[in-house]
Structure 1
């Protein structure tokens, strides 16, 4: 399915696709945030779904003094958290785990971003080692000034315009068994519902790469 989403810049409201966002955001950040007591150096990072990179993506700024654990919490809050699953960053040859175990070679997520990141670095992240949701993170650039007390969401994709597989109206529901999407009026006609004679597998369709996985229905506000 060919589908590319756009998202609004949090500073000026202009809409951009993921591929054209970076240059605009760097300019907008520079015009909005000047070095001061409430700003610090950080990174502009593009986060996207490994499976659907043109559907689900966002750009964030992260202060250099923040840790991988801070980013882990942010990603869980905005896109992923359902059951407190384990997660991990994979950077170069090292694995940084939310639950590092002595002797298994994993590292703690308490490492500061400024110690391990640099412009151009690409790495990955996995939430839930069973029904996994995998993300890729690209360090776009260093920014001289960003808020020093938060990870700032500066652009995020608008919800993909999925259509109901039965009537072609806007889809509202996703099947956790097959991934099929329906509007609520057509839920009873979905093949898995007919086969199982139940609707237990249907979940609300949300703007997250984890939609339809492990009962995830949360959505960042």
Structure 2
């Protein structure tokens, strides 16, 4: 898929580049209003993480995570929003394959220190690699009962139909896997493009796992 440099703030719908999004979130009026109206409670450490696919830079997320959350909760979040297809194994490491494994029972505030970047590996066969790094933190009241809050997300990369160059809406997994083709199809051509071995073309969704293993889309929000 082609690279997309832009994403959308989930609070105000402002669209900007990946590099500028962190600055926008620090000054977003809706974000400031959200923080001002946060329910009263015991202040705690909340960490802003940048999550990015290890292979396709077009796919990225900004999330705020409670410091008391565990890596297991991040694993569950990534599965729901991006990765889950067949219940594959996963792990966190420093350094990726061959690096130091980090237990999923570890707390977020104990792991994301000193500019540490964690690598999340999902599916040890048809792997998905995700890079996770701290870009900021605050000490205050959470804005949600959920341990992880989505702040921004990449816009879905635009792709073209291999048959007519119209915007693509579906993916043929057989063309992609067996015929060295992007396999991307518009709605019209997807209707007349079945394949025996992989079934009908599937709808394209905003996830780096599209076309891998049995992935066919994320869980229903909220994540």
TM-score tier by shorter-chain length is 0.7 to 0.9
- Say whether residues 1:76 and 2:79 are aligned partners: yes
Offset of 1:16 from its aligned partner? 1.6
TM-score by structure 2 length? Answer: 0.81
Corresponding position: 1:51 with 2:55: yes
Contact persistence 2:86–2:214 (CA under 8 A): no
Aligned pairs, number? 205
- State the match for 1:60 in structure 2: 63
Task: Tell me the residue number matched to 1:4.
Answer: 4
What residue number does 2:15 align with?
A: 15
**Alignment correspondent of 1:126:** 121
Alignment partner of 1:152 out of 142, 149, 152? 149
SS at match of 2:75: helix
Counterpart of 1:142 (choices 134, 137, 142) is 137
- Displacement, 1:23? 1.3
Q: Indicate the SS of the match to 1:88.
A: strand
TM-score by length of 1: 0.81
CA distance in 1, matches of 2:100, 2:159: 37
List per-residue Cα deviations over 1:79-114 (Å, max 9, x = no partner): 111111001111265213xxxxxxxxxxx3111111
Secondary structure at the aligned position of 1:25 is classed as: helix
Structure 1 pair 183–119 and aligned structure 2 pair: CA distance change class (3 A): farther
* Unaligned segments of structure 2, at least 5 residues: none
Cα distance in 1 between the residues matched to 2:3 and 2:16 = 14
| Structure 1 stretches lacking a partner, 5+ long | 97-107
Superposed displacement of residue 5, structure 1: 4.1
Displacement of 1:115 after TM fit?
A: 1.1
CA RMSD in angstroms comes to 2.5
**1:49 CA drift (Å):** 1.0
In 1, the alpha carbon distance for the partners of 2:55 and 2:2 equals 13
Alpha-carbon spacing, 1:65–1:142, altered in 2? closer, same or farther (3 Å): same
| 1:110 paired to 2:108 | no
State the Cα deviation string for residues 180-210 of structure 1 (Å, max 9, x = none).
21113224887xx6xx666627332111000
